[in-house]
Every structure is written in structure tokens, then in C-alpha cells.
Amino acid sequence: MDFFILFTIIEIVAILIVISIHEFAHAWAANYLGDPTAKINGRLSLNPFAHLDLVGTLMFVFFKIGWGKPVPFNPNNLENPRKGSALIALAGPASNFFTAILLALPLRLLTTSNVEALMPVAYLVGAIFNFSIVLMAFNLLPIPPLDGSKILMLVLPKRMYQKYDQYLEGGMTYFVVFILVDYFMLGRMFGFSIIGTVIGTVFDFFKYLILLGT
């Protein structure tokens, strides 16, 4: 098989694994905190097809930044809706972080091995490791509907709750506007990307931090 095709297939498999872990973590956290909505909808699963978002997956394949299908949950089922929603949001990036930690040592061992037969395995582990950190970094951006926008509620002063709720209601509108401004105005006109810079910085920091221990 052509190496390009092989490694493309490996990358797609890695993307599906990373997205599945991320979305499963959201569903698990919601169910653990008392809301069975995700479980009822079949999202408490590591089956990639349960979490697949076509556009988000294609974005990952071509632009290395993407997302899975949002996990539904009902905040009214949570003991503390605001804190619970933030913890459910935090579960996704946290799962990617711990996945990268678990793969750090195997990745180091595989990449220092000279066994040619292990190259595809090393590439798969490396792809899962890298995509895990990228997905974590991307979702930590405080732009709705990304996880970072909800995680902020853990540290937000109560006096700002009402205004922040109005900000969150913007949902995909803010996200689309931000992407368009970042890519077409800043990227095309000035060769600068806020998303690229933030994700690149977070990626480099966490990759260095995680691999340092190995």
C-alpha cells in the first residue's frame, strides 16, 4: 500500500479515536452528575459513529482542527446546573490530556525503536497523542459553543453570570464570526491567526510538559 494512503488512513483512525474519547468523557460526566440524557441518546459509548460530526471530522482531516457531535445534556437534572455544566465541559479536554499522558511513554519507546514493522503503530500512537493535545487546546478557547466558554463558569464572579449567559446564547454565531475573521481577515490579510497561535502555543507547552516526564 502507498505510504501516503496508509498514513492518511491511520490519521483518520486516530481522529475518530480522539473525538470518541472526548465526547464519551462529556457523556460520562453528565451521567455521573445525574443527567442520563446522553446515555439515553446512545452517547455513553466509545463507538466513533455515535459521536461523528461530518463537518467536524473533515475539518480535522484537512485542517487538523475539528470537533465531534455535541453531547446533549439537561442542566435541570444536575444538582448545581452552572457548576455541573462547567464540569461536563471540562471532562472533554481533560480526557484528551490524560490520553496524551498515557501515550507519552509508549510513544517515546516506539519512536526510538528501529523496528520497521512498528512504524505504522508508532505513527498511530503519535497521531492520537498529537490530535489529543490539539483537540484539548482548541476546545479550551472561550468561544461558544466550545468547552472553554463553559469551563469559565467555574471561576466567573456571580455578578457576571447574567451577562455571560447572554454571551453563551450567541452559540455558533460567535464561533462562525470568529473563524471567518481569524481566517479571512487576519490570516489572509496579515498572515496571522489567533486560533493557530493559541493552539500552537498550548500544543508546544503541553507536548513538552508531557514528554518531559518520559
Residues assigned a catalytic role = 23
Contact 69, 52 (CB under 8 A): yes
Residue among 119, 125, 110 nearest 11 (CA): 125
Which residue do the cell numbers 471532562 mark?
Answer: 91
What torsion do the CA atoms of 54, 57, 61, 62 make, to the nearest 10 degrees? 60
Q: Kindly state the helix (H) or strand (E) to which residue 148 belongs, with its residue range.
A: helix 147-151
Contacts of 134 (CB under 8 A, 6+ apart): 64, 65, 199, 203
Amino acid at 52: L
Contact 181, 175 (CB under 8 A): no
The total of other beta-carbon atoms located within 10 Å of residue 3's CB is 10
